[in-house]
Each structure stands twice: as structure tokens, then as C-alpha cells.
Amino acid sequence: MEQEITSEALKSFFRKDLFAEFVGIELLEAGDGRATAKLQLKDHHRNGIGLVQGGAIFTLADLAFAAAVHSRGRIAVAIHCSVSYLKAVQGDFLLAEVQEVSCGPKIAVYTVRVTDSTGEVVSLFEGMAYRKKERWNP
Amino acid sequence: MEQEITSEALKSFFRKDLFAEFVGIELLEAGDGRATAKLQLKDHHRNGIGLVQGGAIFTLADLAFAAAVHSRGRIAVAIHCSVSYLKAVQGDFLLAEVQEVSCGPKIAVYTVRVTDSTGEVVSLFEGMAYRKKERWNP
Amino acid sequence: MEQEITSEALKSFFRKDLFAEFVGIELLEAGDGRATAKLQLKDHHRNGIGLVQGGAIFTLADLAFAAAVHSRGRIAVAIHCSVSYLKAVQGDFLLAEVQEVSCGPKIAVYTVRVTDSTGEVVSLFEGMAYRKKERWNP
Amino acid sequence: MEQEITSEALKSFFRKDLFAEFVGIELLEAGDGRATAKLQLKDHHRNGIGLVQGGAIFTLADLAFAAAVHSRGRIAVAIHCSVSYLKAVQGDFLLAEVQEVSCGPKIAVYTVRVTDSTGEVVSLFEGMAYRKKERWNP
């Protein structure tokens, strides 16, 4: 039986993710195969025609996915991620909420819904991770 | 017959992509369904365990994909992207090189190989775009 | 406001899908953006080492996805599908259940969970369709 | 150094794939990380509106992918596959040709181009496999 990691430990660890911090992503909570992260939108998240850049949406979802899989207590590396863009973002923030599909001994799969401030789903992300044998001690 | 966009016009336009500029991505060349982009790696591209963050790799490949599809002369929006992570990055820069698979009247598909400074492929990206009817005038 | 298609009309139409019938897939119900399909497993669904072949699992999920998107009343074509294999199948049948993520004017996205007779999720499928302007009259 | 498997041994083994045989797929050649497979199209490969069914295209590409990864000499299981549909099939057969992107100690990735009898690419398939430690003796 593996030990779960607390939300505080996960949040503390993911604050050391320099790229997520650089982009401005905040991990709101994590644990038990789930996670929620937020991105307050600023000008530097936009592309050449003023839309929220796909890389910013991906990075938000990816961080939430990483937190969810690490809540299961073992080191994991992403091996495949996909993102579907469903509609243009409205409002000034994005929320990513993770759902665990399967957490097997080696392979784990999560889906992440990204919603904007109107509550609409703007992107669907799916992440597959390879779980190593080592326990993870944040 | 649609008019192609020059590499200079593409590079000039994508310098207005504020997120790509914020991340530090440089479009080296683009045109004729192809593109090459580079990311000089810095500390802020790394995650909590010192590896290059997946979101940074994705954003690099995504920008190259966007440049390649826009070289075909019409406005396009990404609808689905995926990335496979093949090995850990070595060295201090990443290169993304795009190959056009298919550019149909509505749907276009590109693959992007991301290599590190040792020349090894570290990620494979696939992007699908929906092409609008409007011509694109950068 | 688009008119929904009844479950009977959908089941009747998808019985004309010769490949799904050849494989042995049965559409149990469909409507309102959802669908459920079943595959009774036989020897000819297995690969060279006796496992249920990935193509059989894909085809089951794909038919359920097609029924769900057509329940929304317009002709649609699949443009991108993915499948994650989570664990080996046990027992003698598979069920595919569709969830609608987003049904926009042009692009629609659905996820499909495939479970075996023990109730475990063995595969996660995601399908993206391009919706045409034409109404669909089954 | 791992021993490669010959094309004859691969073809002989994949003839035991009952689902691929049922569907009508023929492995033309395989070895050295590559493979080519063919599907002669018949009525039972079509869907309710007469188009080649996505599941038939997927199954063809998937078999070619499986042969390519097994040519590397170790047992492997597919963990994630995706397929993009680029245009409607013309003519009476499909060819799937595999390209190896990366074959690491645990994870291997291949792309497969499916062309129709006019030579046009109709689908792009990407497959990721998890390679087991066991040698594969066909």
C-alpha cells in the first residue's frame, strides 16, 4: 500500500517548478489522484492575434496532471500528452481540474478539463505517465 | 492557387507572439509548409527536479507548427496537438523542425521533431489545424 | 435549435455500418450526446498471443463515438482519434460508454471509457469530429 | 546488443493474429524497425455511408506498428495510439508504411502513413509501445 502525499507537500514541491512559476501557474490543491491549478491571464500569455497561446494552456494542464500523478506517492515522468482546443478563452483566468482515469503499477492516465472564467470548457488535456519504482519524497 | 508567405514576413509576425517571446523561442526560418524554431535553455525552463519542463518543449514545437501552417497563406487555428516525450534533454538548446503531412482545404496536419544539442530526438509533436477561409496577411 | 435523433433511428442506421457488424459490435443505446456499445468477445478478436486486439477495442469505441456525435443531428466525420490501453482485458465482453466533452458548431469532442466484464476501465478513447452543415436524416 | 527478427519470422508470427486475419490485413514485409502492411478493400470494410471505416484503417496501421516494434527483438505492448484522418479513401486498397521515431529501453514510438491506391496519404497514425525485458521468440 503506497502512502499518499499531502496537498501542502505537493504545493510546496511544485513551487520549485521554475517554468510553471515563470508562466504564472498556481497549484490550488492536489491529492488523492486529483489536482486543481489556476492561471491568471496577462498580456504575455497571448499570441500574435491576442488569443491565449496554446502553450500557456498546455503548461497549466500539464502542471495539474503532474501534481495529480505525484499525489500517488511515486516518481513519474510524462510520456505522452495531448490537448484539444474547444473554444476561444473568455475572461481573465483559466482553471485546470484533473480526473484520474487509471493509475496502474507502471502506466497512469489522467484527463484535465480547462475552463475559463465563464465556466466553459475551453480545452481537454490527456496525460499518460510512466511511474518509476522509487517512492517520491517531496 | 494560394500565395505563400515569405520567411521574413512569418518571422516578423511571430515576433508578436508575446508568449513565445516571453518563453524565449526564436523562429529561425519558415515557409513552404516548413519551419524551424530554437529555444536556448535557461534555468526558468526547468521543473522541480531540474529537467526541461514539458510545457517549454510543447510551446517550442507549437510555435514552429503555427509558423508552418501559416506559411500556406490562410488563417488557421490549432484544434488538436500531442507530444511524446522520448528521452531526457541534454545540452543547452532545443531545435524544432516541422514536416508537413497534409494540408487540405480545411484540415492540416504537421509533425515536429524536437532535438537537443546532441542531435537526438527528444520529443515528437503532432499538430492538427483548422484552416479558415480568410487569407492571412501578416 | 437542432433536432435530436432518437435512439431507435441511430441503432437502425448504425446496423448499416458493415465493418462494425462484421466485427460484431452492437449499439445498445444512443442519444443526447451519449451512446453505449458492446462487443461480445470471440476468438477472432484476439491477436497472436491471445490478447484482445487493439483494433477491436478501437473499433468498438469508435462506433460508440460516431453514434454519440450523430445524435446531435448533423453529419460529422472523425478527424482525430486516440486510444490509451490501460490494462489487459478480462472476461468475455467489452462495453464502451461515451461522454460528450464539447459539441461546437464545427468541432465536437467525446471521450469513451471501455470497460471489461469485471467493470474495470481497460481503455480510454478520445474522438474529435468535424461537423458538417448538412442535417443528418438517418 | 539485441538480435533483430527476420521478416519471414515476423510475417509468420503475425499470421497468427486472428483479428488482423479476420479483417483481411496482410503483412508484406517487416524488419529493422520498419514494416509495410496492406488491406485489400471489400464491402465489409465500409461504414453506413459507404466510406472505409476508421476502425479498419486503424487496425491496418496498428498491425504494421506492432510488426515494426517487434522487429527489435523484445516483447512490447501498445500503450497509446492515435490516428488523424486526412482525406477520404479512393481506390481499392490501403498501404501502411511505418517509420521508427525512437526505440528506447522502455518506450518506443513509431509513425505510420496510410496511403490509398492513388498514392495519397489518407491517415497518419502514431503508436507508442512499452517494451518488456523479455526477448521475443516468434
Separation in Å, CA of C86 to nearest CA in chain D = 7
Mark yes or no for CB contact B102/D82 under 8 Å. Answer: no
Separation in Å, CA of A116 to nearest CA in chain D = 27
Pairing type for strands D107-116 and A25-31 reads: unpaired
Bridge partners of A113, per DSSP, are: A97, A124
Q: Is the ipTM of this complex over 0.85?
A: yes
Flag whether residue A128 sits within 8 Å of chain C, measured between CB atoms: yes
Residue range B7-135 forms a domain whose CATH class is alpha beta
Flag whether residue D12 sits within 8 Å of chain C, measured between CB atoms: no
* D134 pLDDT more than 70: yes
Compute the C-alpha angle C43/C87/A31, nearest 5°: 160
Spatial separation of the C-alpha atoms in residues A27 and D102, rounded to whole Å: 33
Mark yes or no for CB contact B85/A77 under 8 Å. Answer: yes
Radius of gyration in angstroms for the set of CA atoms belonging to chain D, rounded to a whole number: 15
> Closest Cα partner for B45 from B115, B86, B93?
B93
Instruction: Tell me the pLDDT of chain B averaged across its residues.
Output: 95
* D59 pLDDT more than 90: yes
Where b means 16+ CB within 10 Å and e means fewer, C17-51 reads bbbbebbbbbbeebbebbbbbebebeebbbbbeee
Touching partners of A (3+ C-beta pairs < 8 Å): B, C, D
* DSSP 8-state symbol, A90: -
Touching partners of C (3+ C-beta pairs < 8 Å): A, B, D
Sequence length of chain C is: 138
B138 touches B13 (CB < 8 A): yes
Q: Is B15 helix (H, G, I), strand (E, B) or coil?
A: coil
Of D86, D109, D121, the CB nearest to B107: D86
Q: Which of A91-100, A128-137, B103-112, D70-79 has the lowest mean pLDDT?
A: A128-137
B106 touches C77 (CB < 8 A): no
Mark yes or no for CB contact D107/A82 under 8 Å. Answer: no
* B3 pLDDT more than 90: no
Separation in Å, CA of D35 to nearest CA in chain A = 23
Amino acid at position B67, single letter: A
Spatial separation of the C-alpha atoms in residues A97 and C5, rounded to whole Å: 32
Confidence band (pLDDT; 50, 70, 90) for A9? very high
Q: Domains of chain C: which residue ranges?
A: 7-135
Flag whether residue A82 sits within 8 Å of chain D, measured between CB atoms: yes
Mean pLDDT along residues B63-91:
96
Flag whether residue C134 sits within 8 Å of chain D, measured between CB atoms: no
Of A18, A77, A83, the CB nearest to B81: A83
Separation in Å, CA of A15 to nearest CA in chain C = 30
Flag whether residue C104 sits within 8 Å of chain A, measured between CB atoms: yes
* B1 pLDDT more than 90: no
B38 touches B45 (CB < 8 A): no
pLDDT, residue C2, reads 63
Flag whether residue C85 sits within 8 Å of chain D, measured between CB atoms: yes
D77 touches D130 (CB < 8 A): yes
Flag whether residue A110 sits within 8 Å of chain B, measured between CB atoms: no
B109 touches B72 (CB < 8 A): no
* A97 pLDDT more than 80: yes
Mean pLDDT along residues B26-33:
96
Flag whether residue C111 sits within 8 Å of chain B, measured between CB atoms: no
Instruction: Tell me the pLDDT of chain D averaged across its residues.
Output: 95
* A34 pLDDT more than 70: yes
- Residue ranges in chain C whose pLDDT is less than 50: 1
Flag whether residue D104 sits within 8 Å of chain B, measured between CB atoms: yes
Separation in Å, CA of B4 to nearest CA in chain D = 21
